[in-house]
Structure 1
Amino acid sequence: MPKSPAPETSKRRTRSDFLASRRALLGAVETLLAERRGPHFSLTELAQEAGISTATAYRHFPDVRGALEAYYEQLILGLIEQMNALPDEGDPIARFEAVCLLWVQQGSRWARAAVHIRSWRGFLDRLHDGDPLVRAIHETLAEVLGALWAAGHIAPQPIEYAVLVWETLFDERVIVDLLDTLDWPVERVAAELTQTVLSALRREPPARP
């Protein structure tokens, strides 16, 4: 008579299955968002796209909104992790360019889906409200911009404004527009947007009245 799997082995297998089904669901979110141009699907349809049962989908998320929030969180945290993992060789311009290129490279994969679930609220509004994802991306970008300012590559200015300019120009909708409408390759999109951000931040801010 075959032996039953050891409790620890069973736990590891259950955990592995749980993570695999979650990855499948989040991948299905990306596919359906892009195909249907928005969150126009049910949790049952999401489960079907992921190749799992509806009951399993409900173990992960109570509704489609929960799946969308988890998907967007995965995108932002993954992007931040990759940005922070880029080598820093002491050249602020090179690091800025590397972060910009990475941003567009990643955006070329998921921006067509993410564009349909962007918040209607402003970046700074959410930052001041304590949104953890916005705070995390702000901290990462502010560090890169701080190095540019310290080296004299951009003009002194409020860091929140500088981050807002960068984040706005690298909006998913902008990336998708340049990739799909103008048919620019990823490298050109990154290069053009990088120089646009630098040009905007190099200008001396207007004197206050």
Structure 2
Amino acid sequence: MASPERRAGKPHEGAARRQTRSDYLLSRDVMLKAIERLLVDRKDARFSLAQLAKEAGVSTATAYRHFSDVRQAIEAYYENLVDELMVEIVAIPRDVSPIERFEKACRIWVRHASRWSRAAVYIRSPDGFLARLKGGDPMVTRIYDVLAPLTLALMDTGDIATQRPEFAVLVWETLFDERVILDLMDGMHWSTERIAAELTQSALCALGHRAD
């Protein structure tokens, strides 16, 4: 049996580990936000981990504890954006019709992208969506796994034409590209509500929406 001293020490050790984990997550969040600022300010992804650390207000050693290089840091930033978006779309209640779920997903998408599109436009992959999906890209696979069921549900109810889900998701993802959303914000001066409404209708039309 452990001594009283060791038993008394365990809660303290557990609290220390939790604090260390909390500090780690906090510094990571600070750096992800700093990546966004650097991308917007520099209008490209050419910066060093030392510059990222300075922007985030952490030590260079801390930056290297999180990321081996800038590419990994940017991938983590983009993965975080995608994850936040997909989590909210997955959380859409299932007690609404497929068309309502699609519309809600579109509004969520535009709301998220309107916040980070100015940064994300500088870190897009040169490879196409379908090529990355076929290659097993984790982020693209995550997007597809969330969006494909929504398009299949629309096909099942006859709201859109029957088609390959890969094509349906490609059309949806292309119309809601952050560059499109940024262009509409800056070039047309549309509100996020109007952007969501217009792109939703465009996506439905492109997918063969069968209006009553």
| TM-score class, shorter | over 0.9
One-letter code aligned to 2:30? A
TM-score, normalising length: structure 2 = 0.91
Q: Give 5+ residue unaligned stretches, structure 2.
A: 1-8
TM-score, normalising length: structure 1 = 0.92
SS in 2 for 1:80: helix
Aligned position for 2:56:
50
Question: How far apart in 2 are the matches of 1:85 and 1:56?
Answer: 34
SS in 2 for 1:121: coil
Question: How far apart in 2 are the matches of 1:50 and 1:106?
Answer: 22
The structural deviation recorded for 1:90 is 3.1
Are residue 190 (structure 1) and residue 196 (structure 2) matched?
A: yes
Percent identity at matched positions? 55
Question: How far apart in 1 are the matches of 2:41 and 2:95?
Answer: 40
Are residue 202 (structure 1) and residue 208 (structure 2) matched?
A: yes
The structural deviation recorded for 1:34 is 1.2
Question: How far apart in 2 are the matches of 1:171 and 1:125?
Answer: 16
CA contact (8 A) 2:117 2:182 kept: yes
Aligned position for 1:207:
none
Moved over 2 A (4+): none
Are residue 26 (structure 1) and residue 69 (structure 2) matched?
A: no
CA distances 1:32-80 after superposition (whole Å, capped 9, x unpaired): 1111111122111111111111111111111111100111111111111
Q: Give 5+ residue unaligned stretches, structure 1.
A: 205-209
Are residue 117 (structure 1) and residue 123 (structure 2) matched?
A: yes
CA contact (8 A) 2:159 2:209 kept: no
One-letter code aligned to 1:108? S
Question: How far apart in 2 are the matches of 1:108 and 1:89?
Answer: 27
One-letter code aligned to 2:106? C
Are residue 66 (structure 1) and residue 72 (structure 2) matched?
A: yes
Aligned position for 2:109:
103
Aligned position for 2:146:
140
Question: How far apart in 2 are the matches of 1:125 and 1:107?
Answer: 23
Q: Spell out the pairing of 1:32-43 with structure 2 (5 A cutoff).
A: 32-43=38-49
Superposition RMSD on alpha carbons, in Å?
Answer: 1.5
SS in 2 for 1:102: helix
**In structure 2, do the counterparts of structure 1 residues 118 and 189 end up closer, same or farther at CA, with 3 Å as the change threshold?**
same
